[in-house]
Amino acid sequence: MQRLLALDAHLSARLRVAERPGLLRSLAAFLAHSGDSWFWLLGLALVWLLGSPAWKHRALVLGAGILITAALVMAIKFTIRRQRPAGQWGEIYRSTDPHSFPSGHAVRAVMLAVVALGLGPLWFGVVMVLWAPLVCLARVAMGVHYLSDVLAGMLFGLVMGGVTLALF
């Protein structure tokens, strides 16, 4: 197990750009934040207030998926208690949630993509499927997760996307 954890840390460090100024770091920081739950819940509240009936339904399903997923992810995180990689970027994440496994952003991004594909329209699902892995990689690139955190999060996100579609 120690060898796997060492390989995980090594591969994660190779993907890291948090300490390198430039366009790639700026893009990774933007993408890493774009999966924040508060951002999505605020955006979905606006869609629900201003959208058509079809978009109001999508907003409710996606919002419910975010809340259910968040509760389950936090339960897992506080059971496993894996510490985040050391680093300076992402102080808000480090102080409010010091645990990294699984990546809540990865779970949320993939869950949102699966639900978007299921609810449509097709363009929305495609955009979300393209966006989700970028968020996952950005979380590793900015040093707030190990690669295994986001891989596990992506798998859990697939499950949660299916569960959300089945429930709603």
The total number of residues written for the chain in this structure: 168
Q: Could you say which of 10, 33, 99, 105 is catalytic?
A: 105
80 domain-assigned: yes
19 domain-assigned: no
Q: Could you say which of 10, 33, 57, 145 is catalytic?
A: 145
pTM: 0.92
119 domain-assigned: yes
- State the total domains in the chain: 1
Q: Walk along the chain (168 residues) and give the pLDDT tens digit of each residue.
A: 889 988 888 888 888 888 889 999 999 999 999 999 999 999 999 999 999 999 999 999 999 999 999 999 999 999 999 988 888 777 778 778 888 999 999 999 999 999 999 999 999 999 999 999 999 999 999 999 999 999 999 999 999 999 999 998
Q: Is residue 99 annotated as part of the catalytic site, yes or no?
A: no
88 domain-assigned: yes
What residue numbers bound the domain in which 58 lies? 2-12+31-167
Distance of alpha carbon 109 from its chain centroid, rounded? 4
Q: Is residue 10 annotated as part of the catalytic site, yes or no?
A: no
68 domain-assigned: yes
137 domain-assigned: yes
What residue has token string 């819940």? 41
Q: Is 110 buried (19+), middle (13-18) or exposed (0-12) by CB count in 10 A?
A: buried
Asked whether the bond before 133 is cis by omega within 30 degrees of 0, the reply is no
Q: What are phi and psi of 99, to 5 degrees?
A: -100, 140
